[in-house]
Amino acid sequence: MSIFLKNILPTIGILLSAVALAYFLLRIDSLFGIQSFSSLPFVSAGTFLLITAICIRIWATIAFSQHHVTVLQLSAPDSLVRDGPYKYSRNPLYVGIFLIVLGSALIFGSPSAVLFSFLLLAFGNWWLIYREEPSLI
């Protein structure tokens, strides 16, 4: 299996997980009487975010693959990727995850899923700054 295919598989898993989570949280919302906000503008915005996120993750995956770096690895990579979306963001893969989760939340109209997406963003930011980046130095 090519390195690109190995690198793209996490994006598919994240997308499927985000959709399942948004649906699950929508059901939890209804159990607690929390009103959904699903409407055409929210579905359109969510779809736009999903498409944008997938494009960002594919672009980042291509950049990783060109440097022979795998997306999922437990140690610091041998090379620093500074081209592609890495010119604009420290970690576009995390940006893509946030946008996938937020986009799914908007499509399903789940307030809890929107809240979860921002909690995920805060956790991801903490993880990058205090856990991941020091291991790269």
For residue 40, the model assigns a pLDDT of: 97
- What proportion of the chain, given as a percentage, has pLDDT over 70? 90
* Average pLDDT score over residue span 26-45: 96
Distance CA 81, CA 87 (A): 9
- The DSSP element (H or E) to which 133 belongs, if any, is helix 133-136
3-state per-residue secondary structure call for 8-46: HHHHHHHHHHHHHHHHHHHHHHHHCCCCCCCCHHHHHHH
Contacts of 19 (CB under 8 A, 6+ apart): 104
Distance CA 4, CA 8 (A): 6
**Binning pLDDT at 50, 70 and 90, where does residue 135 land?**
low
Distance CA 116, CA 21 (A): 10
Q: Which of 25-34, 66-75, 86-95, 120-129 has the lowest mean pLDDT?
A: 66-75
**Binning pLDDT at 50, 70 and 90, where does residue 82 land?**
confident
Q: Which of 11-15, 65-69, 77-81, 95-99 has the lowest mean pLDDT?
A: 77-81
Distance CA 133, CA 137 (A): 7
